[in-house]
Amino acid sequence: MLENIDTSLIDWSRAQFALTAIYHWIFVPLTLGLAVIMGIMETAYYRTGNEFWKRTARFWMKLFGINFAIGVATGLILEFEFGTNWSNYSWFVGDIFGAPLAIEGIVAFFMEATFIAVMFFGWEKVSKGFHLAATWLTGLGATISAWWILVANAWMQYPVGMTFNPDTARNEMVDFLAVATSPMAVNKFFHSVLSGWVLGAIFVVGVSCWYLWRRREKKFALASIKVAAWTGLFAALLSAWTGDGSGYQVAQTQPMKLAAMEGYYDGTDGAGLVAFGILNPDKQTADDGEEAFLFRMEIPKMLSLLAERESDAFVPGINDLLKGGYTQKDGTQALSAEEKIARGKRAIAAFADYRTAKAEGREADMQEAARVLDENMDYFGYGYIKDVNELVPNVPLTFYMFRVMVILGGYFILFFIGVLFFVYKRRMEEMRWFHWVVMLTIPLGYLAGQAGWVVAECGRQPWAIQDMLPTCAAVSRLDVGSVQTTFFLFLVLFTVLLVAEVSIMLKAIRKGPEKEN
């Protein structure tokens, strides 16, 4: 069946899902970041009774609400695409993948929907304490929602807590706790949420500097900058720490992604980290004989330290992962990609034999097929791979996007330190050139978040589920034309929504916070 699949169907299905995810992630991190900042501001109002903090919190809540509403629309479409474009994926692992998505919808989403109404319309109708609780619970609901979404995504990166049932042809969950609290999920959650706090802080500082540049709302702007910059610096520092943890998890569970992130083809003891490099565009495959880099600067032994916590540890490169034969941490010899593909084909054949034997009532043959399937199930997905080079992700895209994310992460730490220095030196309102630096940093916050997701998702190709199900086996059997049509429909729809959000936000920003009575 896979022999006749149109590869353009895979490409267009991936493109449509990527389009939806990219637009969705424009809205989500700002929601997470603004939720924390406006919660801090309302807490200041609750503690001091100063109406200034109430007006300040309400202004940022207005922008939060605009962003939240548009984000919900793209998120709903994203979840539906698992059924429309990736129905084989949904059938194969829906019993596992569907659980965190269902919890997200039933618990977190309803929690947000309940308390956001109180937050927006309950200022004069409930007590100050109850309203403050509603504001924080709205943010907590958004964060819990992110938790379950990221649990689902982390499971795709590192599938745990399940077993394959040959009778139903589905993977079934056997350990919910392992799925919900895997190290990959924990690191991904904290890193993603903290990056949202960083973006929210950049956004608030940037908008506030626009007021300073226009010589408006000085008190409001400076107070907002202080709250946001401290939040952003805290989040940026923790984001760097959790990023290191995520890198370690990638090294342990997705070594091919790590190799692509570093443009790293031949493994060595004491591997260096590429601080700066230019890839050779003539390098097409792992074994084409071309040099990987035109130029590079390495930090000696740093990759080994980050990947294995030992400066002299061996880190396999792309060629090692394809050819196998190196000694793994457990003392075994790594299998070659060819051997994994062969074992995957044996698993697929054994599964077919099991189904046939069951239909014909041959119990002994069923048991033998089940034994062979169980022995080779870890490589089931490799059986759909036709060429070992398919196992190598897009190295240039992964390599450069990883550096965009890391460089911008370092810049944001320096950025918040600079903002705090100038604002406490009481020079911020007069530094008009710095206002432009701050405002132009807003799109860099979005770029950093998108770059991180490109590394996470493109770096694990060709896998929809790491080592278990490639995209060619996960995609729905649709007409390519229908996917192309909906791609452009979504492109127009999401762009209209984005333009609408930006225009509404700009109108609200130009109007400014409520005037004092």
Does 328 fall in a domain? no
Task: Give the single-character DSSP code of 392.
Answer: S
Q: Determine whether 8 is exposed, middle or buried from the number of CB atoms within 10 Å of its CB (0-12, 13-18, 19+).
A: exposed
Query: Residues 53, 121: one domain?
Result: yes
Query: Residues 427, 482: one domain?
Result: yes
* pTM value surpassing 0.85: yes
Contacts of 429 (CB under 8 A, 6+ apart): 212, 218, 221, 222
Query: Residues 441, 473: one domain?
Result: yes
Query: Residues 104, 211: one domain?
Result: yes
Q: How far is residue 362 CA from its own chain's centroid?
A: 47
Query: Residues 425, 344: one domain?
Result: no
Range of the domain at 363: 337-384
How many angstroms separate the CA atoms of 267 and 181, rounded?
31
CB burial of 104-132 (b: ≥16 within 10 Å; e: otherwise) equals beeebbebbeebbebbbeeeeeeeeeebb
How many angstroms separate the CA atoms of 456 and 395, rounded?
13
Q: Tally DSSP H helices, then E strands, for the chain.
A: 17, 8
Query: Residues 269, 244: one domain?
Result: no
Does 516 fall in a domain? no
Q: Tell me how far apart the terminal alpha carbons of the chain are, to the nearest angstrom.
A: 71
Could you tell me whether strands 293-299 and 273-279 are parallel, antiparallel, or unpaired per DSSP bridges? antiparallel
Query: Residues 235, 317: one domain?
Result: no
Q: What is the reported pLDDT for 4?
A: 61
Does 389 fall in a domain? no
The total of structural domains in the chain comes to: 3
Q: What is the reported pLDDT for 517?
A: 58
Query: Residues 74, 192: one domain?
Result: yes
Supply φ then ψ for residue 316, to 5 degrees: -70, 145
3-state secondary structure of 268: strand
Query: Residues 315, 363: one domain?
Result: no
Count CA within 13 A, CB hemisphere, residue 169: 12
Query: Residues 378, 411: one domain?
Result: no
- Residue whose structure tokens are 């992460």: 409
Supply φ then ψ for residue 152, to 5 degrees: -60, -45
Does 94 fall in a domain? yes
How many angstroms separate the CA atoms of 266 and 319, rounded?
6
Does 469 fall in a domain? yes
Query: Residues 89, 174: one domain?
Result: yes
Does 390 fall in a domain? no
**What are the respective helix, strand and coil percentages of the chain, to the nearest 5?**
75, 5, 20
Q: Determine whether 492 is exposed, middle or buried from the number of CB atoms within 10 Å of its CB (0-12, 13-18, 19+).
A: exposed
Q: What is the reported pLDDT for 14?
A: 93
Ranges of the chain whose pLDDT falls below 50: 1
Amino acid identity of residue 99, one-letter, is: A
Does 329 fall in a domain? no
Q: What is the reported pLDDT for 105?
A: 79
Q: What is the reported pLDDT for 1?
A: 43
Query: Residues 167, 267: one domain?
Result: no
Report how far apart, in Å, the C-alpha atoms of 256 and of each of 320, 411, 458 are: 10, 28, 11
Does 54 fall in a domain? yes
